[in-house]
Amino acid sequence: MTIKQEIERRRTFGIISHPDAGKTTLTEKLLLFGGAIQSAGAVKSNKIKKHATSDFMEIEKQRGISVATSVMGFEYKGKKVNLLDTPGHEDFAEDTYRTLTAVDSVIMVIDCVKGVEPQTRKLLEVCRMRNTPVIVFINKLDREGRDPFDLLDEIEKELKIKVRPLSWPIGMGKQFKGVYSLYEKSLILFDAGNKLNAENAVKIDDLNAAEIAANVGERFADKLREDVEIIESVYPEFVVDDYLQGKISPVFFGSAVNNFGVRELLDCFVQIAPIPQSRSTDLHEINPDDKNFTGFVFKIHANIDPKHRDRIAFLRVCSGVFERNKNYFHVREGRQLRFSNPTAFMAAEKNVIDEAFPGDIIGLYDTGVFKIGDTLTEGTKESFKGIPSFSPEIFRYVNNTDPMKTKQLNKGLEQLTDEGVAQLFTKTLNNRKILGTVGALQFEVIQHRLKSEYGASCTFEAINLFKACWISSKDKKKLDAFILDKSHHMAVDKDHKPVFLAESAWALQMAQEKNPDIDFHFKSEF
């Protein structure tokens, strides 16, 4: 197969949603259809030993939530599908934002009972910044939810996107009969007792056909005909190019927990979703079919296998072919690196690969040389744009509760903050360590992982801080004078960049007004 054919058969996408909309359950069912797993895991129950494939960290199994992005690849109908399951919880939004830089399209899951929720809005904003194509999956139709037209109106109004239903529900909750696929012109019947609803479809080209009433009853058949008539007159015709440009979002209905409506979603997705797209560096635009290899690291995960203390850098291949045991140029470090065991993922399971193509996500064993945003090339000195660390919003002092394990604690903090879920600052005056995060739950996750993965224990002490800002200046003397003057409020990050710790919005404003030669940055990429 040629490189061009390999590129054209790849589909790399992320699944996003507000917590508890059913995102991880949908991921499981997509993997089932892709033949990547044999049975789905119970995402919620602590009593059942089998957990969702994508929730592989111990704390995820205990809490029933996703706290890290998982990467899974599978083959489906001749296409290579790379699926990234992201955390829904807002406290881990930064991990999700960075993951969205590595995908070419997105499936957004919405709960039919709750509709559009706050985290859904935030995530869609990120998609809109990059014109990422979005498919909407309205989930949990086996429950009593809201009117489908009301849901579509809310999605258009709240998320400011145009939608076009490609499937339509017949009934809902206890009266849920199935969905009619406007894309495939077929009726898919729901059977609550059949967890593999995949083949339960009746081909119907004419909505006036008697088979519809025979399968769902006259009342539901009439309602379906009315609804489809409204859809055809109110919503725009579905044009694939409009979807690829982010101008319109196709909508599917189903019930992921019952495996219903998932096959129709996946079949349509592999047909219409974009192939790997171009990416910008600080020099020029990189196209997937460019001859030379390029890629960037968008995520780092410590201790995927706690027994082996391995640290994995997740790299998105952007152009060329990545080959095992070949030398590649690490742009930030300015040196050549070679990888003897690059891996492909199935959540925590890894398989060594010999080559990878644009769109693929590969894992590189990392001894500490990678940071999020790093670029690998075949020799060119260029860097991919737009994978920053954001200024944290919640801060805590780190107190070591076991001095005998100081080394383990420092190593754990260093490695876990490399993953980008939190940022580590060291105060200039007294060397006290401060953790900054965008959400409170991250402290609990870090504390749990320090104990279980590093054998280190700590407590967190509240600190009154409003913002941590990176500072810079073209005038070195003025920068040094500012650092000296504000020494009680200064820290350094892991790269020893100076950071100003503002105790209040007023203190930050005063510092900015009194020091016009100092630049204050709210993200690390400047």
For residue 170, give the nearest of 218, 111, 136, 208 by alpha carbon.
218
Q: E strands along 25-78, which residues? A: 70-76
Q: Is 468 helix (H, G, I), strand (E, B) or coil?
A: strand
The pLDDT assigned to 94 comes to 63
Give the number of other Cβ atoms within 10 Å of residue 277's Cβ. Answer: 19
Average pLDDT over residues 472-480: 94
The pLDDT assigned to 201 comes to 63
Radius of gyration of the chain (CA): 25
The pLDDT assigned to 308 comes to 53
Q: What is the mean pLDDT of the chain?
A: 83
CATH number belonging to domain 394-521 = 3.30.70.3280
d(CA 269, CA 77): 11
The pLDDT assigned to 197 comes to 46
Higher-pLDDT residue of 368, 102:
102
For residue 451, give the nearest of 395, 397, 402, 396 by alpha carbon.
402
Average pLDDT over residues 378-400: 82
Lowest mean pLDDT among 16-20, 328-332, 369-373: 16-20
Average pLDDT over residues 235-242: 92
Locate 127 and state its tokens: 């998609």
CATH number belonging to domain 279-377 = 2.40.30.10
Q: Amino acid letter at 341?
A: N
Give the number of other Cβ atoms within 10 Å of residue 156's Cβ. Answer: 15
pLDDT at 244 over 90: yes
Higher-pLDDT residue of 337, 417:
337
CATH fit for domain 3-73+83-272, picks 1.20.120.80, 3.40.50.300, 3.30.1330.180, 3.40.710.10: 3.40.50.300
Give the number of other Cβ atoms within 10 Å of residue 176's Cβ. Answer: 21
394-438 pLDDT, tens digit each: 899 999 999 999 999 998 898 888 777 788 999 999 999 999 887
Sheet holding 490-492, edge to edge: 458-462, 394-400, 433-437, 423-427, 490-492, 498-502, 467-472, 519-521
* Block residue for tokens 């489809």: 228
Return the domain boundaries, the chain: 3-73+83-272, 279-377, 394-521
- Domains 279-377 and 394-521 are alike in CATH topology: no
Supply angle C-alpha 319, 321, 323, rounded to 5.
140
* Block residue for tokens 């969905």: 179
Lowest mean pLDDT among 284-293, 341-350, 365-374, 484-493: 341-350
80-133 pLDDT, tens digit each: 999 887 764 454 456 677 788 889 999 999 999 898 887 788 778 778 877 899
Helix, strand, coil content of the chain in percent (nearest 5): 30, 30, 40
The pLDDT assigned to 37 comes to 58
Strand partners, 479: none
pLDDT at 24 over 90: no
The pLDDT assigned to 216 comes to 82
d(CA 424, CA 398): 10
Residue 484: HSE in the Cβ half-sphere, 13 Å Cα cutoff: 6
Q: Which stretches within 130-261 are classed as H helix?
A: 148-159, 210-216, 218-234, 240-244
165-189 pLDDT, tens digit each: 999 998 888 888 888 888 888 888 8
266-318 pLDDT, tens digit each: 999 999 999 999 998 888 899 999 999 999 998 887 665 555 556 788 899 99
